[in-house]
Every structure is written in C-alpha cells, then in structure tokens.
Structure 1
C-alpha cells in the first residue's frame, strides 16, 4: 500500500528567513547553497531572491567571505591545491573575480610547503621499485589534489623522495 504524503507546504517568509539565518550562521555559505536550501523549503523564485537580499543586508551571507573561508579551509585542512579549490568554488557558482581573490590569500611559501608535505606523506605508501614509475605515481597524486603539474615536477626534482 502506498502512503500518500502531503505536498510540501512552503513556510511563510518570516519562518524561511529564520531558517536561512540559522543555516548561514552555522557555517559560511555561498549564495547558491542558500538558494538551493530555500527552494527545497518550497519557496518561489521571487521570495528566494528577496530573502537572499535580506541575508546579504543582515551580513549573514557574504560571497567574498565564503570564498576566502572555503579556500583557506580546504587548503589548510585537506591540503588541496589551487586548481581543486578553484573547481570547488566554480561548482558553488562563485564569480571568477572572487575565486582569484580567495586564492591570492594563500601565501606562496605556505603553498609550496603544503605540496612538499603532500609528497612526503604519500611517498612511503607507494610500493614501486622503478623510480620513474614511483615519481609518476607521486606526481599523479599531487596533481589529483589540485596542485599545478609544473610545481609538482619541480618539487619532485628538488626533493630526495625517490
């Protein structure tokens, strides 16, 4: 027997705003994430856009702050490279100007140190006798983490991991 679910009743704007504020206060969000959340509550386009505007005016929603927090968080916690971070921000529909601004917050020295750390941590787990294949596997891993291939190969040349 199929159970009939009542169609989702859209909350009033005041309730939806309170939910959206809580959603944004818990963690930095992109505008698209908030839009998706509001649409999932059953709101219509015009109401969603009005609520987004209210959230921006109340400083609950700030795309630049989100982009910087996302970039630095993914870099420092997961040791992602700039390419992977940029793809993640594009997926969240952050404008290109804000993506480059967020990526510029990562210092070059810290970035190269993180790349070295990624390679150093991965090297012992690669069980490959041939140094060329081991180098290729290490490079592939770092590139998959979002680091630029030229930086990866330069780091592998200057390191003694092989």
Structure 2
C-alpha cells in the first residue's frame, strides 16, 4: 500500500492542484484546504493560487454556475439551500447571483411540483394539518422558498 507523501515542491504541488481543478470546478476554500493538507507553506500557497487564477484553473464564477446547475438539476435543491451552501464555501454575493442565472424557472418549478407530488403520496398521516406540515417541512428542507411551497401544496389541501 502506497503512503501519502508528506512534502511536495511548489512545482509538484502546482501540477497536482491543476489536475485537482481540472477534474471538477473548485472554489478557493477547497483549494486552500487541499494545500493545507499537503502542508504547503503560506508563501507557496499564495504562489500556487495566483498561478491557478492566472491560468483559469480556479474561477469562482464558473464554480458557482456549475454548483447551481448540479444542485438544482440533479439533486432538486431550492435556491435557499443552494445559496447557503455557496456562502459556506465563501462564494461572493455577485458570484452567487451569477450562478442563479443558470436556473431555468420552468425546470425549477417542475422540480418543486414533482418533489411535492412524490412526497405527498408517501406521507401516510391521516390528519390533514399534520400531512400538510410534513410536506411543507420536507420542501423547506430541500431549500425552496416559502411562498412557492405554499402555492404548490395548497391545492392538495383544499378540502
């Protein structure tokens, strides 16, 4: 079994980080974490990050767009959850707004309605109020906005 190396030259670390960024879009925080794991000194970290930025291996706007496309398209997350996740990664408001431009409103609403329909059919609760509450909380946990959730689930409970 091969053991992880404990030291890297700046050139070796730069090549490894280039590959790391090419594999999938990364944000600054992920790259900085990787550099810390590699035990690269602060001056070396700055030099490598500058190289990655100058050669477009590291681009936060591109990362935000890619992240938004993946989370709303494949995981059916709502804007609230996506924005919180991007903020945790240290992405700026400007880049978050740029990423949100990737959201197709029709697909977004379809995702919400589809999730609501599936969950509604799975909830076995007989009390209408509790069933509505469970459905609402599920959709809120997925990150959808309150007003959109209410618009989508109200027709289910028009008794």
Residue 129 (structure 1) aligns with: 126
Find runs of 4+ consecutive structure 1 residues off by over 3 angstroms. Answer: 158-162
Task: Give the number of equivalent residue pairs.
Answer: 155
**Shift in Å at residue 107 of structure 1?**
2.1
Contact 1:31/1:63 (8 A) holds in 2: yes
Q: Which runs of 5+ in 1 are unaligned?
A: 1-7
Flag the 1:161–1:19 CA change in 2: closer, same or farther, 3 A: farther
TM-score w.r.t. length of structure 1: 0.90
Indicate the RMSD between aligned Cα atoms, in angstroms. Answer: 1.7
In the alignment, structure 1 residue 76 sits paired with structure 2 residue 73: yes
Q: Does 1:111 align with 2:108?
A: yes
Shift of 1:109: 1.9
Deviation at 1:43, TM superposition (A): 0.7
1:35-89 CA-to-partner distances (Å, cap 9, x unmatched) read 1101110011221111111011111111100000001101111100001000111
User: Cα offset for 1:114?
Assistant: 0.9
- Is the CA contact 2:112–2:144 (under 8 Å) kept in the aligned structure 1? yes
